[in-house]
Structure 1
Amino acid sequence: MTEYVRSWYVPIIETESGAEMVDKITIENDETAQSLQGKGNQDWFLENTISGIISLGVEFGITLTVNGLIISGTLINGKTYFEELSKSLKSASKEKGDFADVIGEQWAGFKAIYEDPDEESENKTPSHVSFIHLKNAHIFAPGQQAMPTEEGILWRGKLSSVDGFTIGVLSKN
């Protein structure tokens, strides 16, 4: 087995005292390098960025290219996505027990998938990321106005469908 060293800059990691800047991560062998390639055709860098930053509870602007569309919004974790989705549905409910109320309550339960049962664990490792979640999202199609034109929406997409990304939110104007 050939050993080699490859380094790149990584913005933050979680430590006992909170988030900390890191100068570099070193990959020492082919096996480690293979584990960074992501699942299927997912971008390993985007997957690792999402895992690391979302596990710290940080939200930030991101712009994605997905099958020719540009989707721009604030990256959130899955738990927040399902909390917001449930709140949105329940606010549309006209009375207790109607469709929006029942579905809102049911979908709120999906946030448990993203909760750490052992919040005190020092060795918490984010699980494999398969989906990306945005709030205040706008979708830009070639030659079209941003959709929606006013407030952004909640958006969920497969990480494996993302063709490219950049940090920051695209302006609607």
Structure 2
Amino acid sequence: MSADTILGFFVQATNKHDFNLDITLNVNGALVSGTTISAQEYFEELSEAFEDGNEISKKISEQLVQASEEAETNTNESASFIHLKSTKVYCGDSKSTPSKGNILWRGKLSDIDGFFLGKIAESKSSSSTSSSK
């Protein structure tokens, strides 16, 4: 299955020009909602999560920094992955998973079934119904 060319265009704009876009993706029935970030930014932020740990964590952090540098130099290649920050995943009518934190997400463009622009907003209270009679 091939990736959507419009979505690929958005990812290329993000990778080459630090263009950020609020977007919601349909992936195998789940909705993934967040803000696009470049592959370079994704790897940089991910590496920060490992840099203060033990030897293994530090090694992982170094590898992610290297991946970030490679992503910066490979902006002319066509993108295969989309990267999101502040991500929420929705399955059915349930609340988002995860519910807290700035979650980074990486997905294969060829696995995305559809998308719409904008993020899904969390409702402040689930019992905010109004009755007008």
Question: One fold, TM greater than 0.5?
Answer: yes
Out of 48, 51, 55, the position equivalent to 2:12 is: 51
Contact 1:138–1:152 (8 Å) recurs in 2: no
Indicate the structure with greater strand content. 1
CA deviation after TM superposition for structure 1 residue 113, in Å: 2.3
Which amino acid is 2:15 matched to? Answer: I
Q: Which has the larger radius of gyration?
A: 1
Which amino acid is 2:116 matched to? Answer: T
Out of 91, 98, 102, the position equivalent to 1:152 is: 102
Question: Deviation per CA, 1:110-168, whole angstroms, max 9, x where unpaired?
Answer: 11221238xxxxxxx73201000011111011132101111231100100001111111
RMSD of aligned C-alpha atoms? 1.8
Contact 2:14–2:37 (8 Å) recurs in 1: no
Distance 1:74 1:50 in 2: 11
CA deviation after TM superposition for structure 1 residue 53, in Å: 4.1
Corresponding pairs, count: 123
What residue in structure 2 maps to residue 71 of structure 1? 32
Unaligned runs of 5+ in 1: 1-39, 118-124
SS of residue in 1 equivalent to 2:45:
helix
What residue in structure 2 maps to residue 130 of structure 1? 80
Contact 1:67–1:163 (8 Å) recurs in 2: yes
Unaligned runs of 5+ in 2: 124-133
Stretches (4+) displaced over 3 A = none
Out of 117, 120, 132, the position equivalent to 1:167 is: 117
Asked which structure has the greater RCO (Cα within 8 Å, sep 6+), the reply is 2
SS of residue in 1 equivalent to 2:50:
helix
What residue in structure 2 maps to residue 86 of structure 1? 47
TM (norm. structure 1) is: 0.65
